Structure 1
Amino acid sequence: MKKMTCMADCVLCPRMCHANRLAGRIGYCRETAELVAARAALHMWEEECISGKAGSGTVFFSGCNLGCIFCQNHNISQAKAGKVISVGRLSEIFLELQGQGANNINLVTPTHYVPQIIEALNLAKGQGLNIPIVYNTSGYERVDTLRMLKGYVDIYLPDFKYMDERLAGEYSQAPDYPVYAKQALEEMVSQTGEFKMDETTGLLQRGVVVRHLVMPGHVKNSKEVIRYLYNTYGNRILISIMNQYTPMSQVENHALLGRRVTKREYEKVVDYALELGVECGYIQEGKAARQSFIPEFDGEGV
């Protein structure tokens, strides 16, 4: 319970809003200390090394510490969907997903619930949870919070959205995003070391997969992100260059974000990565994702 007390003056994320979430105050994440989840099910649309054939046991948490105007999951990031559950129920969900054959437990947007997640993992591990734990995050993290997870997380799956502070401020209300994302990634890699695959299954057992979503009209930002990642970490991490930007209704009239990424834009970023020497990672072929790839946050499995 000692870890829970940090939520009485919450500084879990870079917003450091100091909300007394234990007393029912709402933090920048739009959540109190009550644990809220919107979906828990096998998910097939992660990178192949995570989803595999059986699927990733994915838990989508409600709330978010960013404010991305283009968010695909805006109904849960804005805390408009989800069910309050106990820490005990969360531990049961982990075990249920393992029982369904999940390759791993995949914690989506978990930052503001780190203390509860740690408690639930302790309970579940005591009852036989033994598959890898994936921390699936926007990348906007504090190192102190990540250090709480040392020994609990096997695979870090962060975004690295921006190297451009102006874009980070305009699109996600976080001009300091590049600073925190760099610090967070360094801590993640220090915890997991070089990525390790199961040679038989091709599933990732340990390591860091960094996702970068190519945005319409922002090839330059994408190149800067890829260059930073490769120049800093080489092939010790996996880089996933994503082509699935989907313009949602809230940005349909935006000059740039109201359209999909063109084939040429995406090819420019991929070609640049190959020119740099990136060898370990993923690209997406075909058209950008449709809204049908966005799951229903209807409380399934919660």
Structure 2
Amino acid sequence: MKDCTLCPRNCHADRLGGRRGYCGQGAEIMAARAALHFWEEPCISGETGSGTVFFSGCVLRCVYCQNHNIAESRAGRIIGWERLSEIFLELQDKKANNINLVTPTHFVPQIALALEQARLGGLHIPVVYNTGSYERVETLKRMEGLVDIYLPDLKYMSSRLGERYSHAADYFETASAAIAEMVRQTGGPDFDDKSGLMKKGVIVRHLVLPGCTADSKKVISYLYHTYGDRIYISIMNQFTPVCELSFFPELNRRITAREYEKIVDYALDIGVENGFIQEGNTAEESFIPEFDGEGL
């Protein structure tokens, strides 16, 4: 972190010296919430919830980000890695099904220390790495043996969409290499026979965006024909305009039921069986918790 290259931005910020990287963060861990979360896939949340830590900052900063108030600002509280280790154990004591690290990339060295310490203290539930997938393979390798479940996005295949919406024309090339590393680390999916909770594996999420169904089909096709049943694909319809989108008017609406149905039907037609879909008007519900420092 003296010359930070943790993420593909390779900004070389001296975060140890007080500078902030592209992610907006320095060397100290900043988080906005650590609590039970019930809005992940059923095999992650279960009945008692996922022990979710929302980290501040982000290496992508998508223009439509639903967590933009912590991804793009300095909102949150500073905690040390020792305190983070305690938080993991406290979430386990609250009957969390797993530890869920949301947007962890820019804090990987500290998180790795915290997880190693927590395991010495009795942490035994699975660890989930929840990411937008703009990751360096070298950084992910630091988490090998510490992460049980990867929960990455695959947002776009189109470099034009990657540049326009996430300032990353190389998004697909970078994210697909990262997902390949995740699958290498975890292997195929493994579930608890009694609870149905995932113990190990990869679930790749794809959020369907307004007017982008052609690209969505390419994403689903790539994932299925590359990995088959070695991963699960989660197709999400919950896109909700929550940011200022005057420069992106095409995104200033929810997706239609027909748009989502087209993608789900396509997935079924090509043979996808290991997957999750969202039913009903999930975009009308709030999937965004209060980032009030709970649990920190």
TM superposition score normalised by structure 1: 0.96
- Extract structure 1 runs of 4+ deviating beyond 3 A: none
Q: 1:291, CA displacement in angstroms? A: 6.0
**Matched ranges for 1:181-220 at <5 A:** 181-220=175-214
Which of 132, 141, 159 is 1:138 aligned to? Answer: 132
Is 1:25 the counterpart of 2:19? The answer is yes
Q: 1:292, CA displacement in angstroms? A: 2.5
Q: SS at 1:115's partner residue? A: helix
Letter in 1 for 2:268: L
Name the counterpart of 2:37: 43
Alpha-carbon distance between aligned partners in 1 of 2:162 and 2:285, rounded to the nearest angstrom: 24
Alpha-carbon distance between aligned partners in 1 of 2:211 and 2:74, rounded to the nearest angstrom: 30
Is 1:11 the counterpart of 2:5? The answer is yes
Name the counterpart of 1:240: 234
Alpha-carbon distance between aligned partners in 1 of 2:52 and 2:197, rounded to the nearest angstrom: 16
In structure 1, runs of 5+ residues without a counterpart are: 1-6
Alpha-carbon distance between aligned partners in 2 of 1:162 and 1:198, rounded to the nearest angstrom: 32
Q: 1:229, CA displacement in angstroms? A: 0.1
Q: Contact 1:64 / 1:109 at 8 angstroms: preserved in 2? A: yes
Name the counterpart of 1:4: none
Name the counterpart of 1:111: 105
Alpha-carbon distance between aligned partners in 2 of 1:232 and 1:249, rounded to the nearest angstrom: 34
Which of 274, 281, 302 is 2:275 aligned to? Answer: 281
Is 1:95 the counterpart of 2:89? The answer is yes
Q: SS at 2:123's partner residue? A: coil
Q: SS at 2:283's partner residue? A: coil
Name the counterpart of 1:261: 255
Alpha-carbon distance between aligned partners in 1 of 2:52 and 2:258, rounded to the nearest angstrom: 32
Alpha-carbon distance between aligned partners in 2 of 1:31 and 1:61, rounded to the nearest angstrom: 10
Alpha-carbon distance between aligned partners in 1 of 2:232 and 2:286, rounded to the nearest angstrom: 26
Q: 1:81, CA displacement in angstroms? A: 1.3
Q: 1:288, CA displacement in angstroms? A: 3.6
Alpha-carbon distance between aligned partners in 1 of 2:293 and 2:214, rounded to the nearest angstrom: 39
In structure 2, runs of 5+ residues without a counterpart are: none
Alpha-carbon distance between aligned partners in 2 of 1:59 and 1:289, rounded to the nearest angstrom: 23
Kindly provide the CA deviation profile for residues 135-187 of structure 1, in whole angstroms up to 9, marking residues without a partner as x: 00001100000011110000000000000000000001001000001100110
Letter in 2 for 1:269: I
Q: 1:79, CA displacement in angstroms? A: 2.7
TM superposition score normalised by structure 2: 0.98
Q: 1:251, CA displacement in angstroms? A: 1.6
Alpha-carbon distance between aligned partners in 2 of 1:292 and 1:190, rounded to the nearest angstrom: 34
Letter in 2 for 1:270: V
Q: Which deviates the most, 14-23 or 288-297?
A: 288-297
Letter in 2 for 1:293: F
Letter in 2 for 1:215: L
Q: 1:253, CA displacement in angstroms? A: 6.9
Name the counterpart of 2:72: 78
Letter in 1 for 2:250: L
Name the counterpart of 2:221: 227
Q: Contact 1:252 / 1:259 at 8 angstroms: preserved in 2? A: no
**Matched ranges for 1:284-299 at <5 A:** 284-290=278-284, 292-299=286-293
Q: 1:256, CA displacement in angstroms? A: 1.4
Q: Contact 2:61 / 2:68 at 8 angstroms: preserved in 1? A: no
Q: Contact 1:215 / 1:257 at 8 angstroms: preserved in 2? A: yes
Q: 1:22, CA displacement in angstroms? A: 0.7
Alpha-carbon distance between aligned partners in 1 of 2:255 and 2:280, rounded to the nearest angstrom: 11
Name the counterpart of 2:47: 53
Letter in 2 for 1:162: Y
Q: Contact 2:25 / 2:74 at 8 angstroms: preserved in 1? A: no
Q: 1:210, CA displacement in angstroms? A: 0.2
Q: SS at 2:250's partner residue? A: coil
Q: SS at 1:256's partner residue? A: helix
**Number of matched residues?**
296
Q: 1:248, CA displacement in angstroms? A: 1.1
**Matched ranges for 1:117-196 at <5 A:** 117-196=111-190
